[in-house]
Structure 1
Amino acid sequence: MKTVNLSEKLAMFSSHWDPHVVADYNGNDVMVVKFQGEFPFHVHAGTDDFFLVLEGEMLMDIEGEPPQAVCAGELFVVPKGVSHRPRAEQECKVLLIEPKGEPNSGDPETAAPKPRI
């Protein structure tokens, strides 16, 4: 048991769309990531997708719906099976929670590795 300083963890990398594991929680990876630009549309067939914006603003595109702005201090959950795309015009810092081994793209072939920091 120890405190995890999310600001310190986020300062350890500068890449975008590159989630880093900072803790484990009930079989889930707790990760921090920086968004800028847009991620491809994708689906997580077996799990919901959790986003908590720590700093900045992201837009969540859901196929067939208008984009939804998610600001610092707000969270957004995409239900499993729903095609979505997060994006951010300016750099945005986000906390993610996903089951261990869940690819960030929904597809193991295109997923980014999730290093622990």
Structure 2
Amino acid sequence: MSNGSDPIALDQALASFDALWSPRVVTHVNDYDVRVAKVAGEHVWHAHDTTDEFFLVLDGELHLSLREPAGERTVRLPRGSVFTVPRGTEHRPYAPEGAAILMFEPTGTSTVGDRHDDLPAHVDATTGHALGT
């Protein structure tokens, strides 16, 4: 993780681990983590009750299914796209062909939110791992 004086190469950070749905914290901004993750297949339906969740697709394509008052919809995010899931919105990220993503969220935020479906074995319920782990 950056101590603020050294730049972080995101491609090198992503190359340092193989685990899917298991984000690594690359730096902090105030009380927020900047996390990168490799993703493929489906995550779980979940919601963050007190915080929005920001996604930037670094490589591949990420899909976000959303349960909103008007109904369910899916947002497709190709490489270079950003999207913020509003707090309290149930959502399920998935990447049919795999993707690399960057997330920006308050330190301590769980990857499976405050409310979630049963966790499959491939989903890491974490608040982010340090680079190199």
TM-score range, shorter chain: over 0.9
Large movers: runs of 4+ above 4 Å: none
1:30 alignment partner in structure 2: 34
1:115 alignment partner in structure 2: 129
TM-score relative to the length of structure 2:
0.83
Alignment of 1:1-117 (within 5 A): 1-63=5-67, 64-107=71-114, 111-117=125-131
Offset of residue 68 of structure 1: 1.2
Q: CA RMSD in A?
A: 1.6
Q: Which has the larger radius of gyration?
A: 2
Answer 1 or 2: which has greater strand percent: 2
Gapped runs of 5+ residues in structure 1?
A: none
Report Cα offsets for 1:22-64 as digits up to 9, x if no partner.
0011110101001101111000000001000000001110023
TM-score relative to the length of structure 1:
0.94
| In 1: Cα distance, 2:10 partner to 2:31 partner | 20
Q: Count matched residues.
A: 117
From the superposition, tell whether residues 13 and 80 of structure 1 become closer, same or farther in structure 2 (CA, over 3 Å): same
SS at match of 2:98: strand
